[in-house]
């Protein structure tokens, strides 16, 4: 993967086949997860995206707490159009190619990719030790797939933020 | 457009609520978590709280090393706004009364 700044803003990402396949998987998975109501999500994921920690103590209870969580869900639902745009602009799954991201999409893209990392970590209840590269090398099956996604997206986020 | 000349009516007892609402008495706290990248946290602090890079890095390191950082002390409304925005970006944030 190689990333460069487009003249006038935005980013251009050169992807190899497996990277485009993985990004399709990530963005399609996010589309579905964002459409899912907070109460129907995996509880560990819901806790990371729509956590209620501290609300009660801050006096945010009942209707107000519901409104707070709904607001967080609405923000994520609002990313749907961008997600569809990115899926369309990605090279075909499994094919190498260039992916262009508009400057105004950078913030939402980074937040969405980070959400996917949180989601995958929540699904497997990963802690600090699980997220070390050594742990990924030793892992197997679905856990390994989740860790590969988490590390790949960390790399992509770092490249986008530093370019 | 004409300016209103009506004096707002203040109901006794509401004065305390009003002063509480406008006092910078609420802390926005960001908590450490194992997943969010350091660079991402810096990016979010800059975007949401308007910090410059140095200040954003200082608060990120405080979160990382001490488990939490108070990133703002604000009025209730503004503190709620910041706390919600930080959660929209996937950061663990809470509100605390500054007197607590």
**pLDDT tens sequence across A76-110:** 999 999 999 999 999 999 999 999 999 999 999 99
pLDDT of residue A101: 94
Report which of B86, B56, B70 is spatially closest to residue B24, judged by C-alpha positions.
B70
pLDDT tens track for B32-88: 999 999 999 999 999 999 999 999 999 999 999 999 999 999 999 999 999 999 999
Contact A111 B35 (CB under 8 A): no
* Residue A126, helix vs strand vs coil: coil
Q: Do A20 and A95 touch, CB atoms closer than 8 A? A: yes
Least Cα separation, residue A62 to chain B (angstroms): 16
Distance from CA of B31 to the nearest CA of A (A): 11
pLDDT value for B3: 46
Sheet holding B92-97, edge to edge: B68-74, B26-31, B92-97
pLDDT value of residue A9: 84
How far, in Å, CA of B53 to CA of B78, rounded?
A: 22
Give the other-Cβ count within 10 Å of A138's Cβ. Answer: 10
What is d(CA B37, CA B44) in angstroms, rounded to the nearest whole number?
11
- Cite the DSSP H helix spans in A43-105: 43-49, 62-77, 80-89
| A23 Cα to chain B: minimum distance (Å) | 19
Q: Are B27 and B70 in contact (CB under 8 A)?
A: yes
pLDDT given for residue B4 in this prediction: 44
Q: What is the dihedral of CA A106, A109, A115, A118, to 10 degrees?
A: -70
Q: What is the mean pLDDT of chain A?
A: 94
- Please give the pLDDT value at position A15: 97
Residue A9 is given by DSSP the state: S
Query: What pLDDT is recorded for position B91?
Result: 98
Question: Quick check: B9 pLDDT over 70?
Answer: no
**CA–CA gap between residue A133 and residue A111 (Å, rounded):** 22
pLDDT, residue B10, reads 54
Over residues A3-19, the pLDDT tens digits come to 999 887 899 999 999 99
pLDDT at B2: 42
Q: Please give the domain boundaries of chain B with CATH numbers for all domains.
A: 30-97 (3.30.1390.10)
Whether residues A157 and B95 touch (CB distance < 8 A) is answered with no
Any idea which residue has 């006794």 for tokens? B12
Q: B94: which chain A residues are within 8 Å (Cβ-Cβ)?
A: 53-54, 57-58
Residue B11 above 70 pLDDT? no
pLDDT at position B18 over 90: no
Distances (CA, A) of B26 to A67, B7, B46, B70, B99: 20, 30, 20, 10, 8
Mean predicted confidence (pLDDT) in B3-30:
66
Q: What is the pLDDT of residue B1?
A: 47
Among chain B, residues having any CB pair with chain A shorter than 8 Å are 26, 29, 34-37, 39-40, 43, 47, 80, 84, 87-90, 92-97
What is the helix (H) or strand (E) element at residue A56, kind and residue range? none
State residue A131's pLDDT score. 87
What global pTM score does this model have? 0.89
Evaluate if residue B93 carries a pLDDT over 50. yes
């Amino acid at each position: 993967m190689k990333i460069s700044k487009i003249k006038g803003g935005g980013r251009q990402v050169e992807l190899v086949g497996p990277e485009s396949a993985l990004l399709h998987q990530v963005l399609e998975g996010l589309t579905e997860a964002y459409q899912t109501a907070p109460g129907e999500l995996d509880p560990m994921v819901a806790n990371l995206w729509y956590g209620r920690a501290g609300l009660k103590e801050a006096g945010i209870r009942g209707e107000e707490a519901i409104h707070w969580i709904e607001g967080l869900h609405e923000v994520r639902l609002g990313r749907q159009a961008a997600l569809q745009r990115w899926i369309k602009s990605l090279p075909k799954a499994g094919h190498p190619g260039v992916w262009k991201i508009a400057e105004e999409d950078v913030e939402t893209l980074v937040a969405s990719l980070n959400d996917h990392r949180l989601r995958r970590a929540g699904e497997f209840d990963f802690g600090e030790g699980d997220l070390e590269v050594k742990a990924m090398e030793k892992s197997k099956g679905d856990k390994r797939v989740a860790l590969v996604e988490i590390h790949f997206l960390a790399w992509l986020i770092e490249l986008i933020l530093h370019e | 457009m004409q300016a209103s000349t009506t004096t707002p009516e203040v109901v006794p007892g509401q004065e305390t609520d009003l002063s509480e609402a406008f006092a910078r008495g609420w802390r926005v706290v960001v908590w450490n978590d194992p997943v969010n990248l350091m660079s991402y946290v810096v990016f979010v602090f800059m975007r949401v709280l308007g910090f410059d890079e140095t200040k954003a890095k200082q608060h990120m390191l405080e979160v990382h090393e001490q488990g939490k950082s108070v990133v703002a002390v604000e009025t209730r409304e503004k503190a709620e706004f910041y706390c919600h925005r930080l959660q929209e970006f996937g950061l663990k944030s809470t509100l605390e009364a500054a007197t607590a």
